[in-house]
Amino acid sequence: MAARANFDRRTALRAAAVLPLAAAAGCTGADDDAVTFFFQARPEEAKARQLIIDEFHRRRPDIRIRTILSGPDPLQQMLTYCAGGKCPDVLMAWELLYAGLAERGVYADLNEFLDRDPGYAAELRADGYPTLRDTFVWRGGQYVLPEQWSGVFLYYNRALFEEAGIRPPARWSEAWTFAEFLTAAQALTRRDGAGRTRQYGFVDAWVPYFSAACFGMNNGAEWFSPPVRPARTNIGDPRFADGLQFYADLAVRHRVAPSVGDRQSVSAQDLFRSGRAAMLMGGHWLYSEFTGHDDLDFDVTVLPVGPHGGPGAITDVGSTGLAIAAASPRREQAWEFVKFATGPEGQAIIAESGLFVPVLESAMHSPGFAKAHRGIRNLDVFTEGPAHSRRMAVTPLWGKVESLLERGCNRVLRGAATADSLAGRTSSDIDELLRGAV
């Protein structure tokens, strides 16, 4: 992830630099009557959002939208912007970051609008995924409506798999085991006569300790309990620790994945794109980087399940959504845009763009979504993803919790400690922090 130059959802969760807010190219100039829309996006994602804005403007020419692009630390930018009395009307929100803003009163409770339109609210509830929607419920308020699903899964190189005679699972309910996954990764790893790795069985394009946590959750233990306003972490649970250790051992012990040092010299995307990695862990935000390359024939599969997990595989919720600023003087106009972007019309545009995975079943199972992913045979990995997603942690203290996690987990991922050591100080420090917020 650190090797990527452009920004995406995961960059937002880790970056620390603060860049000035800038108006997106092609948007209207300063306009006191326009609804301001703050979001973070790679160039391709910005284009998809502009499609939604253009269609909304066609239907509602009376409401203008002025876009504001974020730098790599949207949380700090939003706080700074709103503290100065210039909070954007519509705000992109991330599942791991929104709780702090909801707690500070930055977001409006969208139940205010949903309660006034019970028919639309019922339609949205029937067409949506409860796991995604409920992720953005804080202290009873619906502060965000989900806009896209970005849970992680595995991309795999079809040619390399066929050459090795390996057929990965096509659905979350038919997951492979840790043992089967390791056997495949070992068979797909190639070294030269000098012992140098020429092809890795597995690479990771996500945040390593987040990925490791997914392996822990797939061995039968939640990362935090409860996931919303957690009182404790379960990194000390032997099941979670065994799953995390399995992930770490892929590089440290089995050498089927790059070491921490190797990750600094070459990106996982480059390894996969060039055929030097058979599997890559990441989300749909990488799809546009791999599609359209004639020399890369790829598909998607699910994460493996440990001996204490299952029966099917799970992934993280990985959702972003849209919120409305509580202080917005254009709340009604902002709601009309949020309603459009997160509702059937906007989600249909998202589905057809191929850049996002929509959050409504009607859009997910639409011909437009299938057409945008016509090279993918295992489309169920996308369409079933939200139903197999689990929340990591929703807490306003996430920034402090993550610092403790990063420090403890990175020692394990480097091979400097074993995962069961996290049951000590790391676990107790996180629990003490969380108890103060409950």
Question: With 90 as the cut, is the pLDDT of residue 80 above it?
Answer: no
Contact between residue 434 and residue 237 where contact means Cβ atoms under 8 Å apart:
no
Mean pLDDT of 262-276: 91
DSSP code for 305:
B
Candidates 364, 348, 288; CA nearest to 41 is 288
* Separation CA 184–CA 213 (nearest Å): 21
Question: With 50 as the cut, is the pLDDT of residue 13 above it?
Answer: no
| Confidence band, pLDDT 50/70/90 cuts, at residue 1 | very low
Q: Strand, coil or helix: what is 278? A: coil
- As beta bridge partners, residue 149 has 319, 357
| Confidence band, pLDDT 50/70/90 cuts, at residue 437 | low
* Separation CA 106–CA 312 (nearest Å): 38
Q: What is the pLDDT of residues 302-359, one digit of tens each?
A: 999 999 999 999 999 999 999 999 999 999 999 999 999 999 999 999 999 998 999 9
Angle (CA) 162-163-168 rounded to 5° is 35
pLDDT for 72 equals 81
* Separation CA 242–CA 11 (nearest Å): 27
* Separation CA 94–CA 144 (nearest Å): 9
In this structure, of 158-172, 269-283, 423-437, the range with the lowest mean pLDDT score is 423-437
Amino acid at 413: L
In this structure, of 20-24, 81-85, 96-100, 188-192, the range with the lowest mean pLDDT score is 20-24
The pTM for the full model equals 0.90
Burial class, 211, CB count within 10 angstroms (exposed 0-12 / middle 13-18 / buried 19+): buried
- CB neighbours (10 Å) of residue 274? 13
pLDDT for 85 equals 84
Indicate the fold that domain 152-316+394-435 takes in CATH.
Answer: D-Maltodextrin-Binding Protein; domain 2 (3.40.190)
Q: What is the pLDDT of residues 20-75, one digit of tens each?
A: 333 333 333 445 789 999 999 888 888 889 999 999 999 999 999 999 998 888 88
CA distances from 280 to 200, 290, 331, 332 (A): 10, 11, 42, 43
CATH of domain 9-150+317-364: 3.40.190.10
* Separation CA 64–CA 81 (nearest Å): 21
Candidates 78, 60, 47; CA nearest to 323 is 78
pLDDT for 436 equals 77
Residue with tokens 């991330």: 94
- CB neighbours (10 Å) of residue 177? 15
pLDDT for 21 equals 31
* H or E segment and range at residue 390: strand 389-390
Any alpha helices (H) in 188-237, and if so which ranges? 208-217
In this structure, of 9-13, 50-54, 122-126, the range with the lowest mean pLDDT score is 9-13
Contact between residue 219 and residue 238 where contact means Cβ atoms under 8 Å apart:
no
Mean pLDDT of 247-275: 93
Question: With 50 as the cut, is the pLDDT of residue 19 above it?
Answer: no
* Separation CA 9–CA 150 (nearest Å): 8
| Confidence band, pLDDT 50/70/90 cuts, at residue 12 | very low
pLDDT for 179 equals 98
Tell me the average pLDDT of the chain: 90
pLDDT for 15 equals 38
Amino acid at 230: P
In this structure, of 16-30, 230-244, 360-374, 396-410, the range with the lowest mean pLDDT score is 16-30
Strand spans (E) along 82-180: 90-94, 137-138, 141-142, 145-149, 152-157
pLDDT for 260 equals 84
Q: Which of the two residues, 198 and 436, has the higher pLDDT score? A: 198
Question: With 70 as the cut, is the pLDDT of residue 250 above it?
Answer: yes
pLDDT for 313 equals 98
In this structure, of 55-64, 152-161, 288-297, 380-389, the range with the lowest mean pLDDT score is 288-297
Percent of the chain with pLDDT over 90: 81
pLDDT for 363 equals 97
Contact between residue 354 and residue 289 where contact means Cβ atoms under 8 Å apart:
no
In the chain, list all ranges with CATH 3.40.190.10.
9-150+317-364, 152-316+394-435
Q: Which of 84-88, 216-220, 289-293 has the highest mean pLDDT?
A: 216-220
R_g over Cα of the chain: 21
pLDDT for 27 equals 36
Any alpha helices (H) in 200-330, and if so which ranges? 208-217, 238-252, 260-263, 268-273, 287-290
Mean pLDDT of 225-239: 95
Question: With 80 as the cut, is the pLDDT of residue 438 above it?
Answer: no
